[in-house]
Amino acid sequence: MTKVRFYLYASNPLESVCELVGNVYRGGHKAAIICPDAGVAQKLDQLLWIRENTSFIPHVMSNSPLAAETPVVIGLVGEKNWPHTDVLFNIADALPDGYERFRVVNEVVGKSETELAPARIRWKHYKQQQLTLTKFDAERRIAI
């Protein structure tokens, strides 16, 4: 059954995703990341390239021919053909399509009400599905 984790109050959700994806990758897992649009996906792609010289995270866009053999794949809302189903990161406002195929779903949410309101709707949906839910403060890195 899918486990869902909400990382709330991130001052910079893209930086938070980079850090969390790095942890997942270094732990030997594969990740998919859902972005709300191509502009955000491009920013995330750039951040993963330049974040730290010693901690490169191999990644490609979901439409790349190398997606199946790359540990981290970046896609957009509506993506349904993820090459792996280990860990899913969602930084979009929408409920991720096919989330139930993943072992873990990580919802990374900013501080503003415009980011928190859709996250509350996703939380309610997951809860109605009787999934295991946990919340973390993304900045303080503690369970809440």
Looking up residue 45, the CATH number of its domain turns out to be 3.40.50.10110
Enclosing domain of residue 111: 3-143
| Cα–Cα nearest to 11, from 143, 116, 107, 138 | 138
User: What's the whole-number average pLDDT of the chain?
Assistant: 95
User: For 2-52, what is each residue's pLDDT tens digit?
Assistant: 999 999 999 999 999 999 999 999 999 999 999 999 999 999 999 998 876
Return the DSSP state at 108.
E
As for how many domains the chain has, the answer is 1
**What sign does the CA torsion over 120, 126, 132, 138 have?**
negative
Question: What secondary structure, in 3-state letters, does 85-100 show?
Answer: CCEEEECCCCCCCCHH
